[in-house]
Structure 1
Amino acid sequence: MTTFRYYKSSYSGSQGECVEVARNVPQATALRDSKDPAGPCLIVGAGAWASFMETLRTDDSAAR
């Protein structure tokens, strides 16, 4: 069993309303709401996460 190690972005403020990401999940990425760490999490496959991140990078570059 994998223990998820969640991290917040360094861009997150101190309001506590953040999405936390665990990348130590084999072949997947887990996400949770920082306000409810004991609550549910969303787990997405590695390919879907890579595609999501690439879309963010591409859209960010196009917006400049």
Structure 2
Amino acid sequence: MERFQPVSAKVDFPAQERDLLRWWQQERLVERYIHRNAASLVRWSFLDGPITANNPMGVHHAWGRT
């Protein structure tokens, strides 16, 4: 029994991104996210990912946000 299914070595990343964005729109994920957190006292936004997800923060991370 194989653990993983075979995958193609030729991936069409732009097509995958379009499919993913289409799915986000069909499922109304952004609207649901905003609605779910509308009454929250704490505001969080990680749509672009946390700066320090993989490494310690550097001063250059803050430069682009000031």
Q: The TM-score by the shorter chain falls in which range?
A: under 0.3
Greater strand content: 1
Structure 1 or 2: more helix by fraction: 2
When normalised by structure 2's length, the TM-score is: 0.24
Structure having greater relative contact order (Cα 8 Å, sep ≥ 6): 1
**Rg larger in structure:** 2
